[in-house]
Chain A
């Protein structure tokens, strides 16, 4: 498995006045370089489904490129390798630096450097869900756990678990207590299912 190599990933054709990303599918792979604040203003005026659809389109392209690079061994790709490729794609898009946290069985992605904007959070969450879906063929429900300093934490959960955590955190529980309760309910269900 190769590591992420960003060389020659972005090509700017000054003569034609075009910006293209290497390995991108769908058309010529041309990109538009727009100001972030204008983008945020645009997203702020759009509804969540539009933002989610917009973000899912970006994420699907990212997942396809990671899968293209990793190939058939993407299922056995380590956490670090997959994180490297996925994080590389997000970095090329200018959406921040990606890292990973593991809380027991729970997978939490941390995105630093992302401008604090709710439309951006919705955009990134939809982007990640689509990227994982495209790369690994798993339906993931991304739950924003909030920001801590400059980092946005996003938990990769199932749909049912996402609903439980949202209810507990809405009740004022901390992330630790919520994740502990989530693990206890998961073990109880597993024992009940085995019996």
Chain B
């Protein structure tokens, strides 16, 4: 809702308040016909001339000035004048239902192509009714005329269809129909909120906007039921023809039709079933008849060992002279035997290992909380070699044997005391005790 609409609504509200104390009047609807000669290119503005008539329920007629009457509904293209007289029964309710009329007009596709008739239905009976009707005018501005494919229809068919479509709003909006045309407003009083709609294409409207043309019902309830049934039928038909829309815009044009299930099944069968050319000659293979092949587990891959950083003073000369000089990785396996033979080697303890050797030993053997180890500088010499003995710094590690814990439930200390009841204080006492023996 734009600002212009809001301003118009505000003006309408002010006018309604101003005319609230005035007696009610009813404005009839004048249905104009568009001239076929004017065409769709420059459609003249539709003229809705409210006719001030004497109110049925009002005792005194009120003549409204033409400027006070504001057209409610206008349709730009003017078709050949076709007067559609609604066959709706007279309503007993004094106040029409402009909402129904406006809604019906909104949803109603109007074919303005010649010689399509233009159906106008509006009612301005009282200021209150006019207010309600104008409130529904704004959506009409967005109505665009579309072709519903009525070129081949005759005038009677169109009349029959339109009569059914406009029957409800006509019933509700026009109370005193048919009413004489009294004071048609001038063209200067007509207002148009939008330029005339573009030329209607010949393409059929989308299914979502199609309306079902039916017979005019006898009552509002019948009309509602018929409209509901028609809507349901239209939807079901639409579902059968169109593929489901994931995010369907209301007017997004035609959707690709969903292939029928039978056709899809045939296509799937055709694609899945191989042809004779594809299959070729089928050769049956004999069953496996032979010893079961057992595969042994593959040996773990031997990763190349990178030389570790051990600091040796010189190179170990435990190999024969004709052998190439040993690398660090070759010397590594020789360390444990060298430790076992340490007592026979000439060596000297050193307080601290070189940093690199100490870190290496720490990473290999020593727990984190172990005390620092001492190293021994060992001179290793080969009996069959003439080379001078070389020194190798080998870290010493303590081999600890823990005593097995003793678990016993008996007391460890067992003292056998001897009761010495007799302790002579004098030699005579001892002598007397000894003399009493055997008595």
Which residues of A come within 8 Å of B, CB atoms? 74-79, 81-83, 102, 104-107, 132, 136, 138-140, 155-158, 160-165, 182-183, 185-186, 189
Pairwise interchain contact A79-B430, C-beta atoms closer than 8 A = yes
B436: chain A residues within 8 A (beta carbon): 105, 158, 186
B295 interfacial contact with A, CB 8 Å: no
Interface string of B423-439 (1 = CB under 8 A from A): 01111101111111111
B384: chain A residues within 8 A (beta carbon): none
Q: Using known A-B contacts A104-B422, A105-B422, A138-B432, determine if residue A77 contacts B437 with beta carbons closer than 8 Å.
A: no
Pairwise interchain contact A107-B434, C-beta atoms closer than 8 A = yes
B425: chain A residues within 8 A (beta carbon): 76, 78
Pairwise interchain contact B426-A157, C-beta atoms closer than 8 A = no
Bound CA span A28–B403, Å: 79
B433 CB, nearest partner CB in chain A, Å: 4
Within the complex, which residue of A104, A138, A164 is in contact with B435, where a contact is CB–CB below 8 Å? A138
Bound CA span A127–B425, Å: 25
22 pairs of residues in contact across A and B, judged by CB atoms under 8 Å:
A76-B426, A79-B430, A82-B426, A82-B427, A83-B427, A102-B430, A106-B434, A106-B437, A107-B430, A107-B431, A132-B431, A136-B428, A155-B434, A156-B434, A157-B434, A158-B437, A158-B439, A161-B437, A161-B439, A162-B438, A185-B438, A186-B439
B430: chain A residues within 8 A (beta carbon): 79, 102, 107
Chain A interface mostly helix, strand, loop or mixed?
Answer: helix
Bound CA span A105–B437, Å: 7
B435: chain A residues within 8 A (beta carbon): 138-140, 156-158, 161
Pairwise interchain contact A189-B439, C-beta atoms closer than 8 A = yes
Bound CA span A45–B164, Å: 182
Bound CA span A74–B430, Å: 13
Question: What residue of chain B has the Cβ atom nearest to residue A162's Cβ?
Answer: B438
B427 CB, nearest partner CB in chain A, Å: 4
Bound CA span A4–B410, Å: 54
Question: What residue of chain B has the Cβ atom nearest to residue A108's Cβ?
Answer: B434
Question: What residue of chain A has the Cβ atom nearest to residue B422's Cβ?
Answer: A105
A166 CB, nearest partner CB in chain B, Å: 11
Bound CA span A139–B436, Å: 11
Bound CA span A82–B428, Å: 9
B428: chain A residues within 8 A (beta carbon): 74-77, 82, 136, 138
Pairwise interchain contact A140-B431, C-beta atoms closer than 8 A = yes
Pairwise interchain contact B426-A105, C-beta atoms closer than 8 A = no
A75: chain B residues within 8 A (beta carbon): 426, 428
Q: Using known A-B contacts A77-B428, A79-B426, A82-B427, determine if residue A105 contacts B439 with beta carbons closer than 8 Å.
A: no
Of residues 391 through 431 on chain B, the ones whose CB sits less than 8 Å from some CB of chain A are 422, 424-428, 430-431
Bound CA span A36–B308, Å: 95
| Interface residue total, chain B, C-beta cutoff 8 A | 16
Of residues 143 through 179 on chain B, the ones whose CB sits less than 8 Å from some CB of chain A are none
Pairwise interchain contact A136-B437, C-beta atoms closer than 8 A = no
Question: What residue of chain B has the Cβ atom nearest to residue A86's Cβ?
Answer: B427
B94 CB, nearest partner CB in chain A, Å: 145
Question: What residue of chain A has the Cβ atom nearest to residue B432's Cβ?
Answer: A138
Bound CA span A158–B147, Å: 161
Bound CA span A81–B425, Å: 11
A76: chain B residues within 8 A (beta carbon): 425-426, 428
Pairwise interchain contact B426-A164, C-beta atoms closer than 8 A = no
Q: Using known A-B contacts A77-B428, A140-B431, determine if residue A160 contacts B422 with beta carbons closer than 8 Å.
A: no
Question: What residue of chain B has the Cβ atom nearest to residue A74's Cβ?
Answer: B428
Pairwise interchain contact B426-A183, C-beta atoms closer than 8 A = no
Pairwise interchain contact A77-B438, C-beta atoms closer than 8 A = no
Bound CA span A77–B425, Å: 8
B422: chain A residues within 8 A (beta carbon): 104-105
Interface string of B8-50 (1 = CB under 8 A from A): 0000000000000000000000000000000000000000000
**B431, B435, B437 — most chain A CB neighbours (10 Å):** B437
Bound CA span A158–B435, Å: 5
Q: Using known A-B contacts A107-B430, A138-B432, A156-B431, determine if residue A183 contacts B437 with beta carbons closer than 8 Å.
A: yes
Question: What residue of chain A has the Cβ atom nearest to residue B435's Cβ?
Answer: A158
Pairwise interchain contact B438-A164, C-beta atoms closer than 8 A = yes
Q: Using known A-B contacts A138-B431, A140-B431, determine if residue A161 contacts B438 with beta carbons closer than 8 Å.
A: yes
A140: chain B residues within 8 A (beta carbon): 431, 435
B425 CB, nearest partner CB in chain A, Å: 7
Enumerate the 10 nearest inter-chain pairs by beta-carbon distance, A residue then B residue, closest first: A161-B438, A82-B427, A107-B434, A105-B433, A79-B427, A161-B437, A158-B435, A160-B438, A156-B434, A106-B434
Bound CA span A102–B433, Å: 11
Pairwise interchain contact B427-A157, C-beta atoms closer than 8 A = no
Bound CA span A182–B425, Å: 23
Question: What residue of chain B has the Cβ atom nearest to residue A106's Cβ?
Answer: B434
Bound CA span A186–B439, Å: 6
Bound CA span A161–B436, Å: 8
Bound CA span A138–B428, Å: 9
Q: A79-B427, A83-B427, A138-B431 are in contact. List 12 more A-B contacts (CB 8 A).
A: A82-B428, A107-B431, A138-B435, A155-B434, A156-B434, A157-B438, A162-B438, A163-B438, A182-B438, A183-B437, A185-B438, A186-B437
Pairwise interchain contact B437-A78, C-beta atoms closer than 8 A = no
Question: What residue of chain A has the Cβ atom nearest to residue B434's Cβ?
Answer: A107
A105: chain B residues within 8 A (beta carbon): 422, 433-434, 436-437
B432: chain A residues within 8 A (beta carbon): 138
Bound CA span A132–B430, Å: 13
Pairwise interchain contact A136-B438, C-beta atoms closer than 8 A = no
Pairwise interchain contact B437-A182, C-beta atoms closer than 8 A = yes
Pairwise interchain contact A78-B434, C-beta atoms closer than 8 A = no
Pairwise interchain contact A81-B439, C-beta atoms closer than 8 A = no
Pairwise interchain contact A78-B426, C-beta atoms closer than 8 A = yes
